[in-house]
Amino acid sequence: MTLPTECFQLIFEILATEQDTKTLSTLLRVSKPIQVMALPYLYQEPFWVFRREQALEHAHHDIVQRLQDYPRLLEKRLEHRPPRRQRRFAKWDSFSLTRMLLGCVRDKSVVTDFLRIAYKLDHNNNPRDPQAISATGPISAPVSATATETEAIPPAATKAKAAARRLARTMLSGPPSIDCLAFLRRLRVNYYTQGNDEFQPSLRRYCLDLDPEQRANSRHAALFEEMASRGSSRIRVVRRTNDILSMDLTWALCNERLEQLQSLTIYLEEMERYLAVVDRLPQLNRVCFEQGTEEHFTARSDEEKQRMWQRMVLFVERHTELFGTLREIDYPACPQSMRWSLWRALPVVLDPREIDATNWLRFHAQTDRTRLDHVTSILIPAGCFSFLQGYLKTMEQSEPYLQRCRALQAYEMPFLGAGVDSFEWAVKEKLEAGYTRQGPNTSTLLLPSIYSLSLSDWNRPSHHSRVMVKHIKVQANVGVLDEWLEDVVFAFSESLETLSARDDVSNPQLCSTLVTRWNLPRLRQLEMQRRRRSLRFDTGMLVHCPLLEELVLRDHMMYLNDFVWDAVVLQEPLRLPKLRILRLKGIPAITFHPHSFLTNCSAEGQDNKGEDDEDFSGMPNLHTLSLNVNGSMDYLPTHALSQSAFPAPSWMTVPTVWSLLRDRSFWNWTWNLPLLTVLELRGEFGLYFDLTMLKRTPALEVLCLDIWSRFLPLSAQTRTLDLSELAVTQEQGSEAVAEHDKQQDLLLLPRLTHLHLQGPWVINGPTLKTLFTRVMPNLICISECGCQGFYLREWMEATVELEHLLSSSMVTMTSQDVPLQVIKDYELKAAERSTMETLMNVFLESNESMELSILANWWPGTRRQRELKEGRIVEYVFAGSVHTRPRRALKRSSASMVG
């Protein structure tokens, strides 16, 4: 070996991460030292196959990319090979590895006739003979289980391949040069994809080679006879075949190495076999119980199923008594009482610090036996909580377990309702500590006299031992959520830093108006969402939250039976000097006061202030602003608050209702936001936005203006972009100079790098070029959807002038075909897939409200690349649609158009 050992280990780690078992198995034949290093990585997943559809579709392309630096090898092996042959790489590799492992088994009696047939081993000799099991072909070119007798891998044409075959044949026929099974730590039943119709016919053909006596003496005789009698494969037989293959192969490979296994898959019908060896599994920490095919398991009687489930629980109980190393179990569908007994049989979580996805169910099943003094966070994953809801009825606790978590700082619960622990105990402790509520959320410390304390009061938690939770995120129906919020805000007013509350989609109920004042001096992040009703949140509640940095208020206005138009009034200006992120959607955006953006640094803002607003501070630190008024229904009720969930009042169309709101004069604002970097305006906020306001945002980096509105007819949504909106007038000099400056000086946004325009913007070619070259000269990513007034060549002429452009997306074409003359003039080349930065990459992790406004980046179309002399590559996406409008938005606006 010429390379250091560390280099080889790094190579093996990369190959194992990419699941490249083909390359790893090839490296086994280099030398024995490399075998020692490669085997631990290789046999972590010894039977891995392609299971994801995406991997199947792109397997050929990935191999081509991997071998792009080896053109000669690429030309010989992959030039004329169809993608389907690439699917068999993994199966062939799995086939060869399995045969090599079976050749290392000392006790040949565990290798059943079924395994000999499936993996083409010599099954005519005595199975107890150590030399009985040998492969009929070389390990580097095994016959695939999906291949026919004449469809083998082509013979090797080079001396290197022939030498590899001879070495592999020597390794398999004689004693192994290294103990392969010594590296086996875990097994997964990924031998073949379940329901593979191609596997059964070949297996059926080899089953016919068995003598009738051999088939009759086999424990799978019934299946063999069924396979031999059927002329065509059936999915039921194939699935049953895979189950038997998994059971026999797992036992054959694990029987000699049970002491080393950390993960194991056990079929319920094999429980007796594994119950007898449970004392040989000291390192087992994960077990997966399988019931097999649904047809085979359903055919069993209820008594037999009950015995299988009891054996499953008994296995866990015995292993816990002997070793106590089990941490994770997977189980099939069974009665709720059986599942509860199964989790109760697991070892107790010892002195946990965090309750998360790895131990949450063990913890909930054994809260009465778990010590919770050092638990700092309880983060229940939303995807797994549905399993817990069935257990809540069986959990009988003497007291809420949250009260025992005295070090708790973070709490995340995706469901609040009956049976779930709440924070009523925290409210009680604070009241006992001497605090009282003057209002719903206002607390005042009362110092009780020491003489008024009794002996029983000394057992209560003192003021200094109170739980101080900092981060809370919950989801619940509105009735429970509003009451719960009142308790949380009062109980943890001194420590709360993050608060997120979302309603439950499955419970459309009336919501109550939140108008009480919150005293949260440490609060930094607040998120309130209503997904099926309106959110009436009085921003005056946040007067005593001076450190608030992120505010998210959203509603989707879907079921607005509780909507009262009298409540849609402008709120008081919000004064949060530390606010950095503001995202408003629906009613919170409509009722938000525009004077909240004013600061005392803005000369224009002084004229809009009232006499009592001399010390108005506004939000000078705001760097992200997202305003959206798009709703989710086409009709809104006009009646007063109703107690019925689905009333039948008089209705009026959304455009008629929204015209009442448009009469308000708060669409054109005057602000001073020097630190604003991200601006997203959708709906009528984008349609009526005054572009001259951008001169007060010199640090702007991302601009998204989506003027589609489901509350307006299409004829009223068109907006023409004129350079006069971007002109900056000069107040100094003569009238002639002022007139000249008014025509020539335009607004400059030097830091703007990402621009997205969506909707019927009307922009002519010269204006588009001036916009990109003079107003936004440093753009990196541009995307538009539905714009009008320019052609493809004008778009290209405007974008090629940008020096830093990396990605451009155009969705206004009638088709995806790019004219050949344009391709020739601008030297455009075909691009197989996108590798450049797009607006979607910027907002995918940080901004949830961008999922609809960046549809242009997801639009399917033709991708082209343009290579520049300095080595920079610019990617162009050209897409077309009949309506040049997202389908989702079009569906939502259909009723508005009819109305």
Give the pLDDT confidence of 736-763 residue by residue, as tens digits.
433 444 445 888 999 999 999 998 999 9
Token match 């010199």: residue?
A: 698
pLDDT at 750: 93
- Which of 81-90, 121-130, 459-468, 599-608 shows the lowest per-residue confidence on average (mean pLDDT)? 81-90
Which has more confidence, 758 or 175? Answer: 758
Least confident of 33-37, 204-208, 701-705: 204-208
Does residue 462 surpass a pLDDT of 80? Answer: no
Helices (H), 190-275: 199-207, 212-217, 221-229, 235-254, 271-275
Nearest to 56 by CA among 34, 8, 32, 88: 88
Rg (CA), the chain: 35
Which of 32-41, 316-325, 561-570 comes out lowest in average pLDDT? 561-570
Helix (H, G, I), strand (E, B) or coil at 865: strand
Q: What is the DSSP letter of 210?
A: S
605 pLDDT above the threshold of 50: no
What separation in angstroms does the CA of 510 have from each of 485, 536, 560, 589, 822? 16, 12, 9, 20, 57
Q: Give residue 609's pLDDT.
A: 39
* C-alpha distances out from residue 328 to 379, 783, 825, Å: 17, 47, 62
d(CA 112, CA 218): 8
> Does residue 549 carry a pLDDT above 90?
yes
pLDDT tier, 226 (very low <50, low <70, confident <90, very high otherwise): low
What are the b/e assignments for 72-101, b being 16+ CB within 10 Å? eeeeeeeeeeeeeebbbbbbbbbbbbbbbb
Residue 882 has a pLDDT of 35
Q: Judging by beta carbons within 10 Å of its beta carbon (0-12, 13-18, 19+), is residue 106 exposed, middle or buried?
A: exposed
Determine how β-strand 873-880 pairs with β-strand 862-867: antiparallel
φ, ψ at 455 (rounded to 5°) = -65, -30
Q: Which range has the worst mean pLDDT, 267-276, 703-712, 717-726? A: 703-712
User: How much is the pLDDT for 32?
Assistant: 76
409 three-class SS = coil
- Average pLDDT of span 799-823: 81
Mean pLDDT for the chain overall: 68
> Looking at residue 632, what is its pLDDT?
42
Beta bridge partners of 733: none
pLDDT at 894: 28
- Provide the pLDDT for residue 69: 35
Q: What is the mean pLDDT of the segment spanning 299-319?
A: 91
Residue located via tokens 């080079």: 158
Lowest mean pLDDT among 442-451, 602-611, 625-634, 724-733: 602-611
pLDDT of residue 480: 66
Average confidence (pLDDT) over 612-622: 64
Is residue 229 scored above 70 in pLDDT? no
Share of the chain above pLDDT 90, in %: 18
In whole angstroms, give the CA distance from residue 191 to residue 118: 11
CA 486 from chain centre, in angstroms, equals 31
pLDDT at 273: 93
Is residue 223 over pLDDT 90? no
Dist. CA 748–CA 727, nearest whole Å: 10
What pLDDT was estimated at residue 354?
93
Please state the rounded mean pLDDT for residues 28-55. Answer: 58
In 3-state terms, what secondary structure has residue 353? coil
pLDDT at 190 over 50: no
What are phi and psi for residue 624, nearest 5 degrees? -140, 125
Task: Give residue 320's pLDDT band: very low, low, confident or very high (50, 70, 90).
Answer: very high
What is the number of alpha carbons within 13 Å of residue 657 lying toward its C-beta?
A: 23
In this prediction, residue 720 carries a pLDDT of 92
Strand-pairing partners, residue 411, are: 378, 472
Q: What is the pLDDT of residue 279?
A: 95
Residue 598 and residue 577 in contact, taking contact as beta carbons nearer than 8 Å: no
Within 10 angstroms of residue 484's Cβ, the number of other Cβ atoms is: 20
What local confidence, expressed as pLDDT, does residue 243 receive? 76
CB neighbourhood size of 443 (10 A): 19
The CA angle 724-726-727, to the nearest 5 degrees, is: 65
List own/partner pairs for 219-226 with CB under 8 A and 24 or more apart. Answer: 219/112, 220/112, 220/114, 220/244
Which tens digits make up the pLDDT trace of 398-407?
356 888 899 9
Strands 550-555 and 807-813: unpaired
For residues 750 and 147, the model is more confident at 750
Report which listed range, 224-238, 297-311, 412-426, 463-477, is most confident.
297-311
Given pLDDT bands bounded at 50, 70 and 90, which one contains residue 580?
Answer: very high
Per-residue pLDDT, 582: 94
Q: What is the pLDDT of residue 844?
A: 40
The pLDDT value given to residue 820: 83
* 230-234, 703-707, 793-797, 798-802: segment of lowest average pLDDT: 230-234
Query: Is the pLDDT assigned to residue 67 strictly greater than 90?
Result: no
Beta strand ranges found along 477-549 (DSSP E): 498-503, 525-530
Is the pLDDT at 701 greater than 90? The verdict is: yes
Percent of the chain with pLDDT over 70: 54
Q: What confidence score (pLDDT) does residue 536 get? A: 75
Confidence of residue 456 (pLDDT cuts 50, 70, 90): very low
268 vs 463: which has the higher pLDDT: 268
Q: Indicate the helix (H) or strand (E) that contains 72.
A: helix 71-77
Check whether 846 has a pLDDT greater than 50. no
- 777 pLDDT higher than 90: yes
E strand residue ranges, 539-644: 550-555, 581-585, 624-628, 635-637
pLDDT for residue 291 is more than 80: yes
Can you give the pTM of this predicted structure?
A: 0.69
Residue predicted with more confidence, 636 or 354: 354
The residues, any chain, with a CB within 8 Å of residue 364's CB and separated by 6 or more, are: 388, 391, 395
Contact assessment for residue 136 and residue 102, using Cβ atoms and an 8 Å cutoff: no
pLDDT in tens, 10-36: 888 777 776 676 777 777 777 777 877
271 — pLDDT class (breaks 50, 70, 90)? very high
Which helix (H) or strand (E) covers residue 475, if one does?
A: strand 471-476
DSSP state of 773: I
Beta strands at 678-682 and 702-706: parallel, antiparallel or unpaired = parallel
| Per-position b or e across 274-286, b if 16+ CB within 10 A of its CB | bbeebeebeebbb
Q: Check residues 49 and 692 and name the one with the higher pLDDT.
A: 692
The average pLDDT across 228-246 equals 63
Which pLDDT band, with edges at 50, 70 and 90, does 239 fall under?
Answer: low
